[in-house]
Every structure is written in structure tokens, then in C-alpha cells.
């Protein structure tokens, strides 16, 4: 798997390369947006770690150009931003990035997010697509539409409405990803939605009541202030 790291701060670029290199990813690094576009064409990365603020072209522009002309491989893009307010803004722009991380971030978490993205690509393009998502406490079978939660030594079925099931399955398809309300609505309702985005919060609250040990202090479905939600379950 090829990963292109586009980051103009050398220490951060080196750190990312070190951690991804340890996982046997084949990495190339560059420090500005124009170079990124050039290297992209020859290197054909499966995934790009793309800093937002770059000399030359910024990360948004790089992302837009690659999405317009992806070439043989349409890479996953994990965007790095300097602070939370920026994150809020760029998610609102629907940039075409697949995931976002705010600096400073833990390199281990970056590796986990990269793996989650690439697993998704294997699932979509592989011979035998998995119809089951598993995390440490949950199993969701998309064919049978059954959701199980680990309780003590066994797994118990969770009684969910179809919408709650889809919501949980969406979260489990990509643990650790930050979803804003619009993205969840697109997954759950498609283009058929004309209501208030905050309806998502209502369904989240109901799902939390069913799966969280303490729904006032969620351990699985975390609120990301100013953005939306993130599902976490160590596995």
C-alpha cells in the first residue's frame, strides 16, 4: 500500500513517516501542494495524509484537484488541520476528504485511522465483502440485520429500530471517524431528507439509551463539540 504524506512541517512529516513505515506502508513525503499533485501522478498512492495549510496549493485545493482527476486510483484522503474551529469549517465545506485529524494528534491514532480507511477499501474491492462489522463490544450483521452487544461473558441482542440499526452500522463501519450531522443524514436517509439536522441528535440519544452503560456519559458514541459524533470501541 502506497501512502503519500503532504506536510510542510518536517518534524511532523518525519513522525508520520516513521509510524506508517513501521507498519510496512510504502511512504513518500512532500512539503508543498504543487509537488503533491506531481508525485501523486507517478506514485499512485492508496491513501494521502494531507495537511490543510501548505505552501503553494493548500490542502483543500490539492484535495479538489485529485477528486476531479483521480487517475487509476482514487485515494483515500486523511486531512490534518491545526485546530478545531478549522475542522468545523472544512467539514462544512465537504472537501472530499475521507477523514480529518486535528493537530496535535497521537501518531498511534493516525495509524489506526489509516488502517480503518484501508480496511474499508479492501472490503469494497475484495472478493468476499464482509457483511458483518465487529468491534470489542458489538457485532452487527448487515444481512440478518441483527445487532449484538457483549454483556459479561455472552453477547445479547440489542432491540433497535431500523434507523437505530443503520446508525450503529454506520458508526461501526468506521470506528474513530468523526461524522457531522449532514454526513449521517446522507447515510441514513439519502437525498430523501428535508427536516432539521438536529433530528440526528434524537436518534443518537435513543441509541445511547440502548447501548451505553451510562447514556449521560457515553463511552461508545462520543460527542465531538461543534462537529458531530464519533464511535469508539477498542477492539
Interacting residue ranges for Ca ion, rule: CB under 5 A:
8, 51, 53
Q: Which of residues 53 and 64 has its CB atom nearest to Ca ion in the complex? A: 53
The dihedral of CA 53, 57, 62, 64: what is its sign?
positive
What's the min distance (Å) between Cβ of 150 and Ca ion?
41
What's the min distance (Å) between Cβ of 129 and Ca ion?
37
Q: Is 135 exposed, middle or buried (0-12, 13-18, 19+ CB in 10 A)?
A: middle
Q: Which of residues 32 and 212 has its CB atom nearest to Ca ion in the complex? A: 32
With vertex at residue 76, the alpha carbon angle to CA 70 and CA 77, rounded to the nearest 5 degrees, is: 95
What's the min distance (Å) between Cβ of 179 and Ca ion?
25
What's the min distance (Å) between Cβ of 2 and Ca ion?
22
Q: Which of residues 51 and 164 has its CB atom nearest to Ca ion in the complex? A: 51
Q: Which of residues 55 and 71 has its CB atom nearest to Ca ion in the complex? A: 55
Q: Which of residues 52 and 221 has its CB atom nearest to Ca ion in the complex? A: 52
Q: Where are the beta strands (DSSP E) in the chain?
A: 2-6, 26-30, 47-51, 76-81, 99-102, 132-134, 138-141, 146-151, 154-157, 178-180, 221-224, 228-231
- What's the rounded Cα separation, in Å, for the pair 31 and 24? 22
What's the min distance (Å) between Cβ of 53 and Ca ion?
4
Question: Helix (H, G, I), strand (E, B), or coil: what is residue 222?
Answer: strand
Amino acid at each position: 500500500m502506497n501512502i503519500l504524506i503532504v506536510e510542510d512541517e518536517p518534524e511532523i512529516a518525519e513522525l508520520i513517516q516513521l509510524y506508517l513505515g513501521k507498519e510496512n506502508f510504502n511512504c513518500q513525503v512532500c512539503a508543498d501542494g504543487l509537488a503533491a499533485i506531481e508525485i501523486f501522478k507517478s506514485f499512485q498512492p492508496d491513501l494521502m495524509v494531507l495537511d490543510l495549510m501548505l505552501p503553494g496549493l493548500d490542502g483543500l485545493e490539492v484535495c479538489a484537484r485529485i477528486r476531479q482527476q483521480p487517475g487509476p486510483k482514487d485515494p483515500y484522503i486523511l486531512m490534518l488541520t491545526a485546530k478545531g474551529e478549522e475542522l468545523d469549517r472544512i467539514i462544512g465545506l465537504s472537501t472530499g476528504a475521507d477523514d480529518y485529524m486535528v493537530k496535535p494528534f497521537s501518531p498511534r491514532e493516525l495509524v489506526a485511522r489509516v488502517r480503518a480507511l484501508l480496511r474499508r477499501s479492501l472490503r469494497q474491492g475484495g472478493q468476499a465483502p464482509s457483511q458483518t462489522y465487529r468491534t470489542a463490544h458489538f457485532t452487527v450483521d448487515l444481512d440478518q440485520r441483527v445487532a449484538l452487544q457483549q454483556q459479561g461473558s455472552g453477547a445479547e441482542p440489542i432491540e433497535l429500530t431500523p434507523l437505530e440499526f443503520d446508525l450503529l452500522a454506520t458508526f461501526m463501519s468506521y470506528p474513530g471517524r468523526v461524522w457531522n450531522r449532514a454526513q449521517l443524514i446522507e447515510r441514513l436517509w439519502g437525498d430523501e431528507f428535508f427536516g432539521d439536522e438536529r433530528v440526528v441528535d434524537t436518534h443518537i440519544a435513543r441509541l445511547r439509551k440502548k447501548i451505553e452503560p451510562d447514556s449521560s456519559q457515553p463511552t461508545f458514541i462520543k460527542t465531538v463539540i461543534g462537529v458531530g459524533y464519533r464511535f469508539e470501541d477498542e477492539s
